Amino acid sequence: MLQRIVLRDPAIAQWLIFSDPVDVLIAQRPSEVLPALRAAERRVKNEDLYAAGFLTYEAASGLDDALETHAGGALPLLCFGLFAQGRISDQPGLTTASPMGPADWHMLEQRQSYVRKIEKIKRRIAAGDTYQINYTVRQETDHVEDAIALFRNIAADAPYGAYLDCGEHIIVSASPELFFRRNEDRLICKPMKGTSHRGLTATEDIALRETLRESTKNRAENVMILDMIRNDMGRVAENGTVDVTSLYDVEKYPTVWQMTSTVVARTNADVCDVIAALFPSASVTGAPKVSSMRIIRELEESPRGIYTGAIGYFGPDNRAQFNVAIRTALIEKESRKATYGVGGGIVWYSDADDEYDECLTKAKVLSRVRTEQDFDLLETLLWTPEHGYALLEEHLNRLCASADYFDYVCDRTTIEEALLEQAGNFSAQKQRVRLTLNKYGQVSVSHQLLEDVNSGQPREIVLAAEPVDRSDQFLYHKTTHRQIYEDARRKARGGDDVLLWNGDGFITETCVANVALDIDGTLYTPPVEAGLLGGTYRNWLLSNGMARERPIHIDELDDGIKLVLFNSVRAQYAGVLRYPESQEADLLDAMGATP
């Protein structure tokens, strides 16, 4: 049943790898859940073993018969492998040659049906049956090409990521939420309630973080669940030891901001009793738990399975860690079909459409494509003997903002010292300087003599064959991941550079420069939200009143129109747009238009 389990332990920033179990304990019916869990705990203590595995959401009815759920689904209610030992590694030990191919994930419950369910929940709230319901829906796909590739894409950097090979099924969990951690007599829970999507630019990202932090709705949901967690912990905690150590923290994840709080307690209870007291996490049920789970069973049309259950391990040294199995996919090995759950807390003042949109936001992790290699942040600077580094503060500000966005280590002093040291190697001529920063904070600086690139004829610019996706975060940050620009150049029909445009038909930038039109002596450049990098020279022009922002549609551009191009190394230089023969018809096709 259980062949291999890989669990992330963020407390030590390592992976725990369990393989070749000496035994596997399962529970298929509710009446078997507690006996199987107690048997696992007994053998862990008596035989110095480790137990690693999962409980599905439906296991709750076997821990407390007052907790109503659907009957179980494809997986057992509980499954734990018993292992002689676990291996600690800085890598998950899962390799595949397959890239993450496209998977057509679709929501099983459409918006109209979802809205009706939320209306029913509000009627139950009005009747006093519940204060909050964590209502969830499922996404499905008919084909996941490679489960390890899916893990690499969505879970390899998740705080409580997990990969479980269960024989006929594979579980891939990208959970950011701690259910509980046990360290001798110390018990920690970290419920997560309150979500916002990430911004595309650093400025937008920070604004969304602060909006979530100050959200009355999300704070109310968070504290409601927090009170339930405190109550559940109190069932196994020493008197007077339950304490909230952190409230309304906002944590950063690749696609979302999450609000969390932290509760700690002291306990001498067995891990089985801890699980029975806490499971399932209040963050995935509602308040009060018993009546909310009854309503969930009535409204949700299928069992949740591993989704909102728990995945983790416990050992003979009174240590344990379990995640809340959110952002978790279940894959059938033979058919390659997969399911993935998403949901959110519904209260009286929840807006149904907003909640449905939040579900879609949470599911974006499924379409996330990690680069094959870690990318570096990048800045390209001009150095002259007369003035040193041009726009240095602007470059450093942008670099540090992107480092904060991607959670890269960034020491501004170290970067400045590296640039200063490199300048000592320059001849008395202009230099093009390339600065990179990797995720660990390591800085690399190189340079080359800058030739006079602004003399001669205007650069010939051709229009990109396809639009860019302005929701792609790499458009807004300068990095070594330049697939967007490489693809545009590869598909272009000649030219010195390629003018990019978005799905709405508005131009953005070229592969190496920002762009503007000179209209009656005023430079107009596209706004950042069109899907472009806020170049340092562009920002300097705007801040000094030398350019203005304005959306510019492809329809405004004729063959031969003059463009003003600029970046921090070349400053301003001329370009001319050329339409290769037949490109106009191709553009209409790409935009879904007809002549």
| Beta-bridge partner residues of 264 | 188, 243
- Burial group, residue 520, by CB count within 10 angstroms (0-12, 13-18, 19+): exposed
The residue to which tokens 């519940």 are assigned: 130
Helix (H) or strand (E) holding 119: helix 111-126
Contacts with 280 (C-beta within 8 Å, 6 or more apart), sequence order: 57, 60, 67, 308, 309, 310, 324
Backbone angles phi, psi at 498, to 5 degrees: -120, 130
Contacts of 504 (CB under 8 A, 6+ apart): none
Q: Distance between CA atoms of 449 and 16, rounded to whole angstroms?
A: 49
Report the SS3 class of residue 9: strand
- Do the Cβ atoms of 22 and 52 come closer than 8 Å? no
- Distance (Å) of CA 338 to CA 7, 58, 138, 307, 320: 20, 19, 10, 12, 29
Place of tokens 């000094």: 544
Rounded Cα gap, residues 191 and 94, in angstroms: 29
- On the CB side of 185, CA atoms within 13 Å amount to 7
For residues 182 and 246, what is the distance between their CA atoms, to the nearest angstrom? Answer: 18
Q: Which residues pair with 432 in a beta bridge?
A: 382, 448
In this structure, the strands spanning 78-83 and 319-324 are unpaired
Say which of 177, 221, 300, 355 is annotated catalytic: 177
Q: How far apart are CA 579 and CA 462, in angstroms?
A: 6
Annotated active-site residue 333? The verdict is no
Q: Is 177 in the active site?
A: yes
Coil vs helix vs strand at 240? coil
Q: Which of 259, 176, 184, 243 is nearest to 10 (CA)?
A: 176
Pairwise CA distance, residues 44 & 86, whole Å = 13
Please provide the DSSP assignment of 493-543 as one string.
-S-SEEEEEBTTSBEEEESS-EEEEEETTEEEE--GGGT----HHHHHHHH
531-562 burial: b if 16+ Cβ within 10 Å, else e: bbbbbbbbbbbeeeeebeeeebebeebeeeee
The alpha carbon dihedral of 376, 379, 385, 388 has a sign of: negative
Q: Are strands 459-463 and 497-501 parallel, antiparallel or unpaired?
A: parallel
Residue 555: DSSP 8-state: G
Q: 85, 92, 95: which is closest to 14 by C-alpha?
A: 92
- Closest to 320 in 3D by CA, of 183, 161, 191: 183
Q: Which of 117, 190, 193, 362 is catalytic?
A: 193
Cis peptide before 316 (omega within 30 of 0): no
Q: Which residues are catalytic?
A: 177, 193
